[in-house]
Amino acid sequence: MVARPGRKDEILATFIRHVAQRGYEQTNLGDIAKELGMSKGTIVHHFGTKAQMLRELEDNYMSQRKREVEAIWAQVETPAERIAALIYAAVFYQVEDRDATIASQREIVQLADDPAMAKIRLQRSDVQRFMSDEIRAGVAGGVFRKVDESITTLQIFGSLQWMWTWFDPAGRYTPEQVGASFVDIFLGGLLVDRLSLATLADPKGRLVKLVRKSVQQARQSDAA
């Protein structure tokens, strides 16, 4: 069967959804081919192996996250605002890019030792470095308590990485409320003066709206 234009994107999107729902090991190329009404050979023609599809998922995902952070950084300047913005963005990914977010987060160690994943590991480190640099700047400026920026960054990212196991976008709490709760806890523990915390942890505040708009615009730009 000859794939029509755009089928590669359709194959990858279906693969991502299957990984999000079942996990990488339980995702079967034959099932994807059957769902899309094509031969398994068509998938192999485009991607070669299932592992290559996971690499492409991770590459696309981390590249997108890095672009979004850079866009947000152009609009907020203080360490506290930037840490809060990263937290809100991580929650919004659970809604705006849910399948890819879950697939990436649940399979983060799947190809950890694969040399072909070196680029993705570097991109992931770059995104984490955005946060660790701001924590370091906040400590140096006397805005944050003296903490180890590496450990604190891992604590925050580690908590956010597992959100897919319990957060339901259609559930009791809105993404804004969940993000605000994370901001309240983490920045509450970092800030020397908590006077600005109520504003940063306001689920209806300016920062929340700015981050949501940036994430949505990036998604629309990619889809265009």
Residue 68 has which token pair?
């979004």
What pLDDT is recorded for position 17? 96
pLDDT along the chain (224 residues), means of 10: 66 95 93 93 90 90 88 92 96 92 84 75 87 96 96 94 92 95 96 95 95 80 61
Q: How confident is the model at residue 213, as a pLDDT?
A: 87
Only one residue has tokens 């930037």, namely: 82
Provide the pLDDT for residue 21: 94
Residue 202, classed as helix, strand or coil, is: coil
Q: Give the gyration radius of the chain's Cα atoms.
A: 19
pLDDT at 1: 40
* N-term to C-term CA, the chain: 27
The domains found in the chain, sorted by start residue, are 1-48 (1.10.10.60), 51-223 (1.10.357.10)
